[in-house]
Protein backbone atom coordinates (compact mmCIF):
# COMPACT_ATOMS: atom_id res chain seq x y z
CA UNK A 1 0.00 0.00 0.00
CA UNK A 2 1.25 3.45 -0.94
CA UNK A 3 1.94 5.23 2.33
CA UNK A 4 0.74 8.53 0.82
CA UNK A 5 -2.71 7.20 0.00
CA UNK A 6 -5.49 7.18 2.63
CA UNK A 7 -6.56 3.74 3.82
CA UNK A 8 -10.00 3.07 2.38
CA UNK A 9 -12.25 2.17 5.31
CA UNK A 10 -15.84 1.10 5.90
CA UNK A 11 -18.25 1.11 8.80
CA UNK A 12 -20.62 -1.81 9.43
CA UNK A 13 -23.60 -0.44 11.35
CA UNK A 14 -25.00 3.08 11.50
CA UNK A 15 -26.93 3.13 14.75
CA UNK A 16 -25.93 5.31 17.69
CA UNK A 17 -22.49 3.69 17.91
CA UNK A 18 -21.62 3.95 14.24
CA UNK A 19 -23.13 7.34 13.51
CA UNK A 20 -22.16 9.15 16.73
CA UNK A 21 -19.02 7.45 18.03
CA UNK A 22 -17.19 6.00 15.03
CA UNK A 23 -18.01 7.90 11.85
CA UNK A 24 -16.89 11.35 13.16
CA UNK A 25 -13.59 9.91 14.41
CA UNK A 26 -12.91 8.02 11.18
CA UNK A 27 -13.74 11.09 9.06
CA UNK A 28 -11.40 13.19 11.23
CA UNK A 29 -8.53 10.69 11.13
CA UNK A 30 -5.43 11.42 9.13
CA UNK A 31 -4.65 8.46 6.91
CA UNK A 32 -8.19 7.04 6.70
CA UNK A 33 -10.96 7.63 4.19
CA UNK A 34 -14.49 6.50 5.11
CA UNK A 35 -15.77 5.36 1.73
CA UNK A 36 -18.64 3.00 2.62
CA UNK A 37 -21.22 2.17 5.27
CA UNK A 38 -22.78 -1.27 5.51
CA UNK A 39 -26.46 -1.09 6.46
CA UNK A 40 -29.60 -2.63 5.06
CA UNK A 41 -31.92 -0.10 6.70
CA UNK A 42 -33.37 2.46 4.25
CA UNK A 43 -33.64 5.00 7.08
CA UNK A 44 -29.99 4.63 8.00
CA UNK A 45 -28.94 4.68 4.36
CA UNK A 46 -30.70 8.05 4.15
CA UNK A 47 -28.85 9.21 7.28
CA UNK A 48 -25.52 8.26 5.69
CA UNK A 49 -26.37 10.24 2.53
CA UNK A 50 -27.31 13.26 4.66
CA UNK A 51 -24.19 13.05 6.84
CA UNK A 52 -21.66 12.16 4.15
CA UNK A 53 -22.83 12.32 0.51
CA UNK A 54 -19.47 11.00 -0.68
CA UNK A 55 -19.86 7.70 1.20
CA UNK A 56 -21.44 4.69 -0.49
CA UNK A 57 -24.00 2.53 1.29
CA UNK A 58 -24.06 -1.22 0.71
CA UNK A 59 -26.24 -3.92 2.29
CA UNK A 60 -23.51 -6.51 2.93
CA UNK A 61 -19.82 -6.87 3.76
CA UNK A 62 -19.26 -8.88 0.56
CA UNK A 63 -19.58 -5.71 -1.49
CA UNK A 64 -16.70 -3.91 0.21
CA UNK A 65 -13.64 -5.38 -1.59
CA UNK A 66 -15.01 -4.28 -4.98
CA UNK A 67 -15.02 -0.70 -3.64
CA UNK A 68 -11.32 -0.92 -2.80
CA UNK A 69 -12.06 -1.07 0.93
CA UNK A 70 -9.25 -2.66 2.96
CA UNK A 71 -10.70 -2.45 6.46
CA UNK A 72 -13.99 -2.22 8.35
CA UNK A 73 -15.23 -1.27 11.79
CA UNK A 74 -17.88 -3.61 13.21
CA UNK A 75 -20.37 -1.62 15.33
CA UNK A 76 -23.54 -3.67 15.12
CA UNK A 77 -25.53 -5.44 17.90
CA UNK A 78 -23.21 -7.25 20.29
CA UNK A 79 -24.10 -10.81 19.32
CA UNK A 80 -23.11 -10.09 15.69
CA UNK A 81 -19.64 -8.66 16.40
CA UNK A 82 -17.62 -11.87 16.22
CA UNK A 83 -19.56 -13.48 13.31
CA UNK A 84 -19.24 -10.34 11.19
CA UNK A 85 -15.57 -9.97 12.11
CA UNK A 86 -14.94 -13.57 10.95
CA UNK A 87 -16.76 -12.79 7.72
CA UNK A 88 -14.69 -9.64 7.17
CA UNK A 89 -11.45 -11.55 7.77
CA UNK A 90 -12.55 -14.17 5.22
CA UNK A 91 -12.96 -11.31 2.73
CA UNK A 92 -9.36 -10.25 3.36
CA UNK A 93 -10.27 -7.13 5.35
CA UNK A 94 -8.57 -5.64 8.38
CA UNK A 95 -11.05 -5.26 11.25
CA UNK A 96 -11.83 -2.99 14.20
CA UNK A 97 -14.36 -4.57 16.57
CA UNK A 98 -16.44 -2.48 18.97
CA UNK A 99 -17.06 -3.76 22.47
CA UNK A 100 -17.86 -6.42 23.40
CA UNK A 101 -15.16 -7.96 21.22
CA UNK A 102 -17.00 -11.29 21.55
CA UNK A 103 -19.61 -12.72 23.88
CA UNK A 104 -17.11 -14.91 25.76
CA UNK A 105 -13.44 -15.73 26.05
CA UNK A 106 -13.50 -18.78 23.80
CA UNK A 107 -15.12 -16.81 20.98
CA UNK A 108 -12.62 -13.98 21.47
CA UNK A 109 -9.65 -16.39 21.26
CA UNK A 110 -11.09 -17.98 18.11
CA UNK A 111 -11.40 -14.58 16.46
CA UNK A 112 -7.79 -13.65 17.28
CA UNK A 113 -6.56 -16.99 15.91
CA UNK A 114 -8.50 -16.37 12.68
CA UNK A 115 -6.87 -12.95 12.23
CA UNK A 116 -3.42 -14.45 12.76
CA UNK A 117 -4.10 -17.15 10.15
CA UNK A 118 -5.44 -14.54 7.72
CA UNK A 119 -2.52 -12.17 8.28
CA UNK A 120 -4.86 -9.26 8.93
CA UNK A 121 -4.88 -6.54 11.58
CA UNK A 122 -7.61 -7.06 14.20
CA UNK A 123 -8.08 -4.28 16.75
CA UNK A 124 -10.47 -4.06 19.72
CA UNK A 125 -12.14 -0.67 20.02
CA UNK A 126 -10.93 0.34 23.47
CA UNK A 127 -11.10 4.10 22.97
CA UNK A 128 -11.34 4.68 26.71
CA UNK A 129 -7.62 4.03 27.09
CA UNK A 130 -7.46 7.62 25.78
CA UNK A 131 -9.95 9.14 28.23
CA UNK A 132 -8.74 12.35 29.80
CA UNK A 133 -9.05 10.99 33.33
CA UNK A 134 -7.13 7.80 32.56
CA UNK A 135 -4.35 9.70 30.80
CA UNK A 136 -4.10 12.04 33.80
CA UNK A 137 -3.87 9.08 36.16
CA UNK A 138 -1.19 7.49 33.99
CA UNK A 139 0.83 10.70 34.21
CA UNK A 140 0.58 10.71 38.01
CA UNK A 141 1.63 7.07 38.18
CA UNK A 142 4.59 7.63 35.88
CA UNK A 143 5.67 10.65 37.95
CA UNK A 144 5.53 8.60 41.15
CA UNK A 145 3.02 10.97 42.76
CA UNK A 146 0.99 8.11 44.27
CA UNK A 147 3.79 5.76 45.20
CA UNK A 148 2.92 2.05 45.37
CA UNK A 149 -0.77 1.71 44.51
CA UNK A 150 -2.89 -0.74 46.49
CA UNK A 151 -6.48 0.23 45.62
CA UNK A 152 -8.19 1.34 42.40
CA UNK A 153 -11.90 2.16 42.05
CA UNK A 154 -13.54 2.85 38.71
CA UNK A 155 -17.24 3.54 38.18
CA UNK A 156 -19.60 4.27 35.32
CA UNK A 157 -22.87 5.33 36.96
CA UNK A 158 -25.85 6.16 34.78
CA UNK A 159 -29.55 6.62 35.51
CA UNK A 160 -31.90 5.23 32.92
CA UNK A 161 -34.95 4.17 34.90
CA UNK A 162 -36.82 3.23 31.73
CA UNK A 163 -34.94 0.45 29.97
CA UNK A 164 -34.11 0.72 26.28
CA UNK A 165 -35.05 -2.10 23.94
CA UNK A 166 -31.36 -3.10 23.73
CA UNK A 167 -30.90 -3.35 27.49
CA UNK A 168 -33.95 -5.60 27.53
CA UNK A 169 -31.95 -8.19 25.56
CA UNK A 170 -30.77 -11.28 27.39
CA UNK A 171 -27.14 -11.96 28.26
CA UNK A 172 -26.97 -14.66 25.56
CA UNK A 173 -27.53 -11.89 22.98
CA UNK A 174 -24.94 -9.59 24.53
CA UNK A 175 -27.43 -7.58 26.57
CA UNK A 176 -26.70 -6.32 30.06
CA UNK A 177 -24.18 -4.01 31.63
CA UNK A 178 -21.46 -6.63 32.12
CA UNK A 179 -20.81 -6.86 28.37
CA UNK A 180 -21.82 -3.28 27.59
CA UNK A 181 -19.70 -1.30 30.06
CA UNK A 182 -17.65 -4.07 31.67
CA UNK A 183 -15.15 -4.34 28.77
CA UNK A 184 -14.15 -0.69 29.22
CA UNK A 185 -13.74 -0.97 32.99
CA UNK A 186 -11.79 -4.22 32.89
CA UNK A 187 -9.56 -3.08 30.03
CA UNK A 188 -8.68 0.16 31.82
CA UNK A 189 -7.85 -1.68 35.06
CA UNK A 190 -5.60 -4.24 33.36
CA UNK A 191 -4.04 -1.55 31.16
CA UNK A 192 -3.07 0.30 34.34
CA UNK A 193 -2.22 -2.52 36.73
CA UNK A 194 -1.62 -5.68 34.71
CA UNK A 195 -2.93 -9.26 34.79
CA UNK A 196 -5.63 -10.44 37.18
CA UNK A 197 -5.33 -13.38 39.57
CA UNK A 198 -8.97 -13.68 40.68
CA UNK A 199 -12.43 -12.14 40.38
CA UNK A 200 -15.40 -11.79 42.71
CA UNK A 201 -18.53 -10.25 41.22
CA UNK A 202 -22.11 -9.30 42.02
CA UNK A 203 -24.61 -8.88 39.17
CA UNK A 204 -28.09 -7.51 39.79
CA UNK A 205 -31.16 -6.80 37.71
CA UNK A 206 -32.84 -3.77 39.26
CA UNK A 207 -35.23 -2.33 36.68
CA UNK A 208 -38.48 -4.16 35.89
CA UNK A 209 -38.36 -5.78 32.47
CA UNK A 210 -34.59 -5.67 32.04
CA UNK A 211 -33.50 -8.82 30.26
CA UNK A 212 -30.07 -8.97 31.90
CA UNK A 213 -28.08 -7.39 34.70
CA UNK A 214 -28.21 -3.60 34.93
CA UNK A 215 -25.98 -3.18 38.02
CA UNK A 216 -22.58 -4.87 38.36
CA UNK A 217 -19.66 -4.73 40.78
CA UNK A 218 -16.41 -6.59 40.17
CA UNK A 219 -13.52 -7.04 42.58
CA UNK A 220 -10.25 -7.91 40.85
CA UNK A 221 -7.03 -9.00 42.52
CA UNK A 222 -4.15 -8.14 40.20
CA UNK A 223 -1.04 -10.29 40.08
CA UNK A 224 0.98 -7.24 41.09
CA UNK A 225 -1.00 -6.78 44.31
CA UNK A 226 -3.41 -3.98 43.36
CA UNK A 227 -7.09 -4.54 44.18
CA UNK A 228 -9.56 -3.02 41.71
CA UNK A 229 -13.23 -2.39 42.36
CA UNK A 230 -15.15 -1.84 39.13
CA UNK A 231 -18.82 -0.85 39.11
CA UNK A 232 -21.34 0.09 36.46
CA UNK A 233 -25.06 0.52 36.40
CA UNK A 234 -28.07 2.03 34.73
CA UNK A 235 -30.04 2.50 37.95
CA UNK A 236 -27.54 4.78 39.74
CA UNK A 237 -29.16 8.19 40.19
CA UNK A 238 -26.44 9.34 42.61
CA UNK A 239 -23.05 8.82 40.95
CA UNK A 240 -19.86 8.01 42.77
CA UNK A 241 -16.42 9.27 41.73
CA UNK A 242 -15.38 8.24 38.22
CA UNK A 243 -11.88 7.17 39.32
CA UNK A 244 -10.30 6.86 42.75
CA UNK A 245 -6.83 5.47 43.36
CA UNK A 246 -4.77 5.21 46.54
CA UNK A 247 -1.08 4.50 47.04
CA UNK A 248 1.46 4.79 49.84
CA UNK A 249 2.39 8.36 48.86
CA UNK A 250 -0.95 9.80 47.86
CA UNK A 251 -4.39 9.37 46.35
CA UNK A 252 -6.23 10.76 43.36
CA UNK A 253 -9.94 11.19 42.71
CA UNK A 254 -11.81 12.58 39.75
CA UNK A 255 -15.57 13.06 39.35
CA UNK A 256 -17.69 13.26 36.26
CA UNK A 257 -17.16 11.76 32.85
CA UNK A 258 -14.67 12.32 30.07
CA UNK A 259 -15.82 15.19 27.82
CA UNK A 260 -15.25 13.45 24.48
CA UNK A 261 -18.53 11.53 24.60
CA UNK A 262 -20.41 14.77 25.28
CA UNK A 263 -18.60 16.49 22.40
CA UNK A 264 -19.53 13.75 19.94
CA UNK A 265 -23.16 13.68 21.07
CA UNK A 266 -23.29 17.45 20.55
CA UNK A 267 -22.20 16.95 16.95
CA UNK A 268 -18.60 18.09 17.36
CA UNK A 269 -15.62 16.33 15.79
CA UNK A 270 -11.86 16.42 16.36
CA UNK A 271 -11.45 18.01 12.95
CA UNK A 272 -13.93 20.74 13.80
CA UNK A 273 -12.73 21.52 17.32
CA UNK A 274 -9.00 21.21 16.69
CA UNK A 275 -7.04 21.88 19.87
CA UNK A 276 -10.27 22.23 21.88
CA UNK A 277 -11.06 18.56 21.33
CA UNK A 278 -10.90 16.54 24.56
CA UNK A 279 -9.99 19.54 26.75
CA UNK A 280 -11.66 19.37 30.17
CA UNK A 281 -12.84 22.53 31.95
CA UNK A 282 -11.08 23.34 35.21
CA UNK A 283 -14.27 22.45 37.10
CA UNK A 284 -13.78 18.82 35.96
CA UNK A 285 -10.14 18.47 37.05
CA UNK A 286 -9.28 15.84 39.67
CA UNK A 287 -7.69 16.22 43.08
CA UNK A 288 -4.41 14.81 44.39
CA UNK A 289 -4.26 14.11 48.14
CA UNK A 290 -0.99 13.70 50.07
CA UNK A 291 0.19 14.08 53.67
CA UNK A 292 0.69 17.78 52.92
CA UNK A 293 -2.92 18.38 51.87
CA UNK A 294 -4.53 18.35 48.46
CA UNK A 295 -4.34 20.22 45.17
CA UNK A 296 -6.21 20.31 41.91
CA UNK A 297 -4.48 18.48 39.04
CA UNK A 298 -4.88 19.77 35.47
CA UNK A 299 -6.36 17.11 33.21
CA UNK A 300 -4.59 15.71 30.20
CA UNK A 301 -6.36 16.28 26.89
CA UNK A 302 -8.55 13.34 25.95
CA UNK A 303 -7.25 11.65 22.81
CA UNK A 304 -9.85 9.40 21.19
CA UNK A 305 -8.76 11.12 17.99
CA UNK A 306 -5.44 9.26 18.16
CA UNK A 307 -7.03 5.81 17.82
CA UNK A 308 -7.97 5.64 14.13
CA UNK A 309 -4.75 7.27 12.84
CA UNK A 310 -2.93 4.54 14.80
CA UNK A 311 -5.13 1.92 13.10
CA UNK A 312 -4.14 3.36 9.71
CA UNK A 313 -0.43 3.13 10.59
CA UNK A 314 -0.89 -0.45 11.72
CA UNK A 315 -2.66 -1.46 8.51
CA UNK A 316 0.24 0.04 6.53
CA UNK A 317 2.69 -2.01 8.58
CA UNK A 318 4.26 1.08 10.14
CA UNK A 319 3.35 0.40 13.78
CA UNK A 320 1.68 -2.19 16.03
CA UNK A 321 -2.09 -1.91 16.56
CA UNK A 322 -3.16 0.68 19.15
CA UNK A 323 -4.75 -2.14 21.20
CA UNK A 324 -3.48 -5.73 21.14
CA UNK A 325 -6.30 -8.15 20.25
CA UNK A 326 -4.99 -10.57 22.88
CA UNK A 327 -5.90 -7.98 25.51
CA UNK A 328 -9.54 -8.39 24.43
CA UNK A 329 -9.27 -12.15 25.00
CA UNK A 330 -7.99 -11.56 28.53
CA UNK A 331 -10.80 -9.06 29.17
CA UNK A 332 -13.43 -11.49 27.88
CA UNK A 333 -12.10 -14.25 30.14
CA UNK A 334 -12.28 -11.95 33.16
CA UNK A 335 -15.89 -11.14 32.30
CA UNK A 336 -16.61 -14.87 31.95
CA UNK A 337 -15.16 -15.38 35.43
CA UNK A 338 -17.27 -12.51 36.76
CA UNK A 339 -20.46 -14.14 35.52
CA UNK A 340 -19.38 -17.47 37.03
CA UNK A 341 -18.51 -15.77 40.31
CA UNK A 342 -21.92 -14.11 40.56
CA UNK A 343 -23.69 -17.39 39.81
CA UNK A 344 -21.67 -19.36 42.38
CA UNK A 345 -21.19 -16.65 44.98
CA UNK A 346 -17.49 -17.42 45.00
CA UNK A 347 -14.09 -16.00 44.13
CA UNK A 348 -13.07 -17.37 40.72
CA UNK A 349 -9.37 -17.70 39.81
CA UNK A 350 -8.09 -16.58 36.41
CA UNK A 351 -5.72 -19.12 34.84
CA UNK A 352 -2.24 -17.79 34.15
CA UNK A 353 -2.71 -18.60 30.47
CA UNK A 354 -5.70 -16.22 30.37
pLDDT tens digits along 235-267: 889 989 999 999 999 999 999 999 999 999 999
Q: Where are the alpha helices (DSSP H) in the chain?
A: 16, 23-28, 42-51, 81-90, 105-118, 132-142, 177-180, 182-193, 259-265, 270-273, 307-315, 325-344
pLDDT tier, 354 (very low <50, low <70, confident <90, very high otherwise): very low
Q: Are 163 and 210 in contact (CB under 8 A)?
A: yes
pLDDT tier, 178 (very low <50, low <70, confident <90, very high otherwise): very high
Q: Are 153 and 243 in contact (CB under 8 A)?
A: yes
Interatomic CA distance for residues 352 and 354, integer angstroms: 5
Q: What is the per-residue pLDDT for 4?
A: 73
pLDDT tens digits along 114-156: 999 999 999 999 999 999 999 999 999 999 999 999 999 999 9
**pLDDT over threshold 70, residue 211:** yes
pLDDT tens digits along 315-348: 999 999 999 999 999 999 999 999 999 999 999 9
Question: In sequence order, which residues have a C-beta less than 8 Å from that of residue 248 and are 6 or more positions away?
Answer: 147, 148, 150
Domains identified in the chain and CATH numbers? 7-127+308-318 (3.40.50.720), 128-304+333-349 (3.30.360.10)
Strands ordered across the beta sheet of 122-124: 56-58, 32-38, 7-12, 71-74, 94-97, 122-124
Mean predicted lDDT score pLDDT of the chain: 94
pLDDT tier, 352 (very low <50, low <70, confident <90, very high otherwise): confident
Sign of the torsion formed by the C-alpha atoms of 156, 162, 166 and 168: positive
The number of helices, as runs of H, and strands, as runs of E, in the chain is 12, 15
Q: To the nearest 10°, the Cα dihedral for 284, 285, 286, 287? A: -120
Q: Are 121 and 314 in contact (CB under 8 A)?
A: yes
Q: What is the per-residue pLDDT for 210?
A: 77
Residue 194: CA count within 13 A, CB half-sphere: 9
Amino acid sequence: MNSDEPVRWALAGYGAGGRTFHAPLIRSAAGLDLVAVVTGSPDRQAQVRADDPAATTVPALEELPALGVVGVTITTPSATHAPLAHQALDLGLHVVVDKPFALNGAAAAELVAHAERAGRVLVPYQNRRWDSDLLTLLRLLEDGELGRVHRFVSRIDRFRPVKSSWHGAGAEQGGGVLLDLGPHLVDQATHLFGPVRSVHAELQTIRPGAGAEDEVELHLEHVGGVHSTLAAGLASAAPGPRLQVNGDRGGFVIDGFDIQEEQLKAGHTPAGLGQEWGVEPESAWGRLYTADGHRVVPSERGAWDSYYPAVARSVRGQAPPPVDARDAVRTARILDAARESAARGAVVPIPETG
